[in-house]
Structure 1
């Protein structure tokens, strides 16, 4: 990787200001691909539409379940697997992506690399008490507006704010 992808301080300002040093890398270097599940439910008791947020293991920021491509798995299948491993939820993931967002992934070696995340809606039908990353993350069901307020990535904020219209259309 090029020198533009060096480690930055953890708290360097807004998300967009953090992207500035990576401008060249975003256009010239390989952007890694990930697949995510934007998990939602309609509560039976109140009819309230909610989305699921999880915290990242490293920084504790609010995100959605996501992961790297898996051999032999389609993107929506990877999204469903990640939703179960990270949040203990199962459901039907849509094959067609809802959209995409970009972010800077901090690798184990401290290097930060640009990632493009393909997001699939996942209609949650079951929550499990035992799952791979239980105890490593917090999970919380919130409104789309609250989810947009909590996440850092502008494109992900936009997906939250538009998704309720997409789900019910």
Structure 2
């Protein structure tokens, strides 16, 4: 390795930013007539990509509580947040002045009970209810795609448990 390559590698290590953590809400509900599950997607304010509600941890709140708060602020969601993480994904978050930081996003399920008409970020994002397959197609992050599809499988398994053996 040339001296310039070693210097460049050392500089990259020196300026590497630590991974930051965010809390996210995987918001879902069941259609009234068919009971089919749907997933809530929103657009990001800066790029317009399809994402799930997420944000930075909040002082005095557990991560699932912060995720529920973000779902309310970004999409007007009211529901029951699960305290157990269903997974995580990673992405590079664009910050001011072109800086990017790597984020690990802890994801918590929220079963949506109500959608409010007025909420803090109303009008600044698109909000859509879609199938889990459609949601996986729309999001950009590969780990989030997998998490969405895995959660749907787990959700459907709880709705239609495997048949018990009749033999005793």
The interval holding the TM-score normalised by the smaller chain is 0.7 to 0.9
Residue-by-residue CA offset, 1:104-139 (whole Å, 9 max, x unaligned): 111133211100000000000000010010100000
1:94 aligns with 2:101: no
1:65-80 matches, within 5 Å, as 65-80=53-68
Unaligned runs of 5+ in 1: 1-23
Is 1:50 the counterpart of 2:48? The answer is no
Structure index of larger Rg: 2
Distance 2:76 2:88 in 1: 23
Q: Give 1:165 shift.
A: 2.2
- Report how far residue 97 of structure 1 moved: 0.4
Deviations for 1:143-167, whole angstroms, at most 9, x for unmatched residues? 0100000000000000111112222
Where in structure 2 are the equivalents of 1:125-164 lying within 5 Å?
A: 125-164=113-152
- Which residue is equivalent to 1:4? none
What TM-score, normalized to structure 1?
Answer: 0.82
- Provide the aligned length of Structure 1 versus Structure 2: 144
Provide, for residues 46-75 of structure 1, a one-character-per-residue CA deviation record: whole Å limited to 9, x for no partner: 312100000000000000000001000000
Alpha-carbon distance, 1:45 to partner: 2.4
Give the TM-score normalised by structure 2: 0.82
Secondary structure at the counterpart of residue 104 of structure 1: strand
